[in-house]
């Protein structure tokens, strides 16, 4: 049976949501809703062992979505397939935009390990020598970048030695207040003896490992010491706020709706040295992935 384009997109979004919420459970059972990690260029899936792209550039710009999202989150509304990657590729010249799709319910460190391997295969097999890598991560995608950098380094991958720019866009390095709230709510409800209330707590507690990791900004395998940002790479952080008035109480309470500014900038991380950071009052969490002001900032940093 051949699905129409619209029906296929609906199915993809359902898979993304299901994977985000129960992705580790789906994967363990071989369920088809578990999204496999896949790289895309020009809307087509890439075979990273033999990537075929039109006019491959020596710079690869890889965009990595967040929890329960698809790679389409990067696309500017009503602008076809235009996104940060295509804009940067056009401005840089010798560059190719690539997007990643992955199962956001898996533990972040496992996705980080797989992403490190995928980037290595992509770079090694790229039609021309890769001189520069730009990694853009929205929300959980930014945590995957940190994880992949660590595992790429420990595995001796070649790509970590390239000219590397890492951009964390609305990424909850210190955890997401919403994920933390879900964790605390489940814990409290599960302590209440009334069965019908406890059921609610158990339903809330049916969260994937990816969501649990998000609540504390965990990007490494359990038992791993805190790791600094990858030395030799450039690191940039972008945050947003719901209301334009930066000091508005709504911003203090909710940040960009999911992530507080301090968390997006890794305020609690030890030994962090960002090359630059930017904050955008009035730009919420999702719009950070496709907003003209963010695009302008990326151009200033990366071109």
Domain spans of the chain? 1-34, 36-176+217-302
Residue with tokens 């158990």: 202
Query: Helices 140-154 and 108-125, interaxial angle, to 10°?
Result: 70
Give the torsion through C-alpha atoms of 245, 249, 253, 257, to 10 deg.
-30
Amino acid 125: pLDDT: 98
Q: Lowest-pLDDT range, 48-52, 107-111, 177-181? A: 177-181
Long-range contacts of 185-192 (CB under 8 A, 24+ apart): none
* Burial status of residue 6 (CB atoms within 10 A of its CB: 0-12, 13-18, 19 or more): exposed
103-113 pLDDT per residue, tens: 888 899 999 99
* Burial status of residue 243 (CB atoms within 10 A of its CB: 0-12, 13-18, 19 or more): middle
260-279 pLDDT per residue, tens: 999 999 999 987 889 999 99
> For residue 53, how many C-alpha atoms fall within 13 Å in the half-sphere facing its CB?
29
| C-alpha–C-alpha distance, residues 193 and 190, integer Å | 8
Amino acid 176: pLDDT: 78
Which CATH fold topology does 36-176+217-302 show?
Rossmann fold (3.40.50)
Residue 186 has pLDDT above 90, yes or no: no
Give the bridge partners for 47, in sequence order: none
Phi-psi region of 195 (alpha: psi -120 to 50; beta: other; left: phi over 0): alpha
Q: Lowest-pLDDT range, 89-103, 133-147, 176-190, 230-244? A: 176-190
Give the pLDDT band (50/70/90) at residue 237: very high
Residue 170 has pLDDT above 50, yes or no: yes
Amino acid 31: pLDDT: 64
């Amino acid at each position: 049976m051949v699905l129409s384009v619209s029906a296929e997109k609906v199915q993809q979004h359902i898979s993304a949501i299901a994977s985000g919420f129960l992705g580790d459970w789906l994967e363990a059972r071989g369920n088809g809703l578990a999204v496999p990690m896949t790289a895309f260029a020009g809307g087509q899936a890439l075979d990273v062992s033999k990537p075929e792209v039109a006019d491959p550039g020596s710079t690869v710009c890889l965009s990595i979505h967040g929890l329960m999202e698809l790679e389409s989150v990067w696309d500017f509304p009503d602008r076809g397939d235009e996104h940060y990657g295509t804009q940067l590729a056009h401005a840089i010249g010798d560059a190719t935009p690539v997007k990643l799709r992955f199962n956001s319910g898996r533990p972040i460190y496992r996705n980080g390990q797989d992403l490190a391997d995928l980037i290595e295969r992509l770079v090694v097999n790229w039609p021309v020598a890769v001189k520069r890598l730009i990694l853009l991560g929205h929300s959980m995608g930014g945590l995957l970048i940190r994880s992949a950098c660590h595992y790429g380094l420990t595995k001796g991958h070649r790509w970590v030695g390239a000219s590397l720019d890492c951009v964390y866009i609305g990424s909850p390095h210190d955890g997401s207040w919403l994920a933390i709230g879900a964790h605390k709510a489940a814990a409290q409800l599960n302590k209440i003896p009334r069965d019908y209330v406890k059921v609610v707590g158990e339903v809330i507690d049916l969260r994937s490992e990816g969501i649990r990791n998000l609540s504390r900004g965990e990007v490494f395998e359990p038992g791993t010491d805190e790791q600094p940002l990858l030395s030799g790479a450039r690191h940039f952080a972008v945050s947003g706020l719901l209301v334009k008035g930066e000091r508005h109480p709504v911003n203090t309470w909710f940040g960009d709706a999911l992530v507080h500014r301090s968390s997006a900038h890794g305020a609690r991380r030890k030994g962090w040295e960002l090359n630059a950071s930017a904050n955008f009052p009035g730009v919420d969490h999702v719009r950070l992935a496709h907003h003209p002001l963010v695009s302008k900032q990326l151009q200033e940093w990366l071109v």
